[in-house]
Structure 1
Amino acid sequence: VSNTRNDMYLASETIKHLKAERQLQINPDAQRNLDALKGELDNATRFIPFWVKVVVAIALGLGTMVGWRRIVVTVGEKIGKSHLTYAQGASAELVAMTTIGAADAFGLPVSTTHVLSSGIAGTMAANRSGLQ
């Protein structure tokens, strides 16, 4: 069974890579048509409706408002054997920010939760306080 959306995405990415490598030896009119096709493919495959963004933002905000204490206890106290210090928290956040930014720059999917948890685990290991 064919996955049409995936095929459209792959065609768009192929056009992008061919243009980047200067492999296309075509006239300017065909180049404009190819750019228009890539634009249409991108519009059809890389679209998140506005209402979906709003609903997800509200759900994340409400979930954090209700469960913030559990999140703080889990992140600050239950990953390592000792409590998280301010310096460790700042270091873990800096590592998470850098990792997520680099992943975004290269188009790699990452879990922000896993990246932050790994940063905290790294600060605990560097502090020699151990992990639970």
Structure 2
Amino acid sequence: MPNGFRPTGGGVSSMARAPRLCARCNSIATRAGYCDAHRPVPFAGARERWAARRPSNWQTLRRWAIKRAGGRCEFESCDRGGTDVDHIHPVAEHGLWDLDNLQLLCKPHHRVKIQQEAQSGRQRARGRRAA
């Protein structure tokens, strides 16, 4: 090569990348396009949004569901004590906020059900994007 020039990495320059800037204040972004001061907090306000959507008689419905189940998990062949009142058909899938759509589950079975619902939600979302 003339003048001692040697290309590095197949001729690609080894210049440093310019830092990304915060989408709100133009300071250096640390993660996800925001600086530490402006980075969104995951799930911020989720509990309040959920509470605003539930009916005013939610606590009564919850107590009735626990009483109907006798305090036991309603998952088939489970004999643990129930801790979580859950919708049989999720509200996100047009389930209703009534006693017939509520069940009492133990923590492990509630976690399994939530994971299954999340997976089906992701599959629905993929189907909507593909269409």
* TM-score normalised by L of structure 1: 0.29
**Larger strand fraction of residues:** 2
**Larger helix fraction of residues:** 1
* TM-score normalised by L of structure 2: 0.29
